[in-house]
């Protein structure tokens, strides 16, 4: 019940742990229990049995375990998306110039600048 398995949402590509969503309303459940005993039981059973794992981010039920083939595919795709430059047209020189600016601002260290520059120009 307290699964902490990593999941991947096929809709928003969010990675993390799933959230358990229980359908129905606790208040209705309580009223049914108090006023009508049998419907209360039925309602409770329905709520428990209809519990589902949903994405923490968008609430989608279209989630897959991160270690499944489908999950791995999404992760790989998301990873490429995250590391690819936002503007593919941007050339290495522009990127080095931007890195230099970052270094000037103190956002990155001299070493980081050199490392990134070497990577860009390789």
SS3 21: strand
Among 7, 9, 18, 74, binds Zn ion (CB under 5 A): 9
Positions in 42-81 near Zn ion (CB under 5 A): 55, 57-58, 60
Which of these ranges, 5-13, 29-37, 82-90, 113-121, lies near Zn ion under the rule CB under 5 A?
Answer: 5-13
Closest CA relative to residue 13, chosen from 56, 70, 65, 75: 75
Residue with tokens 């590391």: 83
Binding flag, residue 12, Zn ion (CB under 5 A): yes
Rounded Cα distance between 8 and 72, Å, is 9
By CB under 5 A, name the binding residues for Zn ion.
9, 11-12, 14, 55, 57-58, 60
């Amino acid at each position: 019940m307290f699964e902490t398995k990593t999941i991947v949402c096929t809709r928003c590509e969010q990675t993390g742990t799933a959230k358990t969503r229980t359908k129905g309303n606790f208040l209705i459940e309580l009223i049914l229990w108090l006023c009508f005993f049998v419907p209360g039981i039925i309602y409770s059973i329905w709520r428990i049995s209809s519990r589902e794992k949903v994405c923490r981010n968008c609430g989608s039920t279209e989630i897959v375990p991160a270690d499944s083939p489908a999950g791995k595919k999404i992760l790989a795709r998301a990873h490429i998306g995250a590391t690819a430059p936002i503007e593919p047209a941007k050339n290495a020189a522009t990127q080095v110039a931007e890195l230099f600016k970052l270094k000037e601002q103190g956002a990155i260290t001299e070493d980081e600048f050199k490392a990134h520059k070497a990577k860009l120009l390789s």
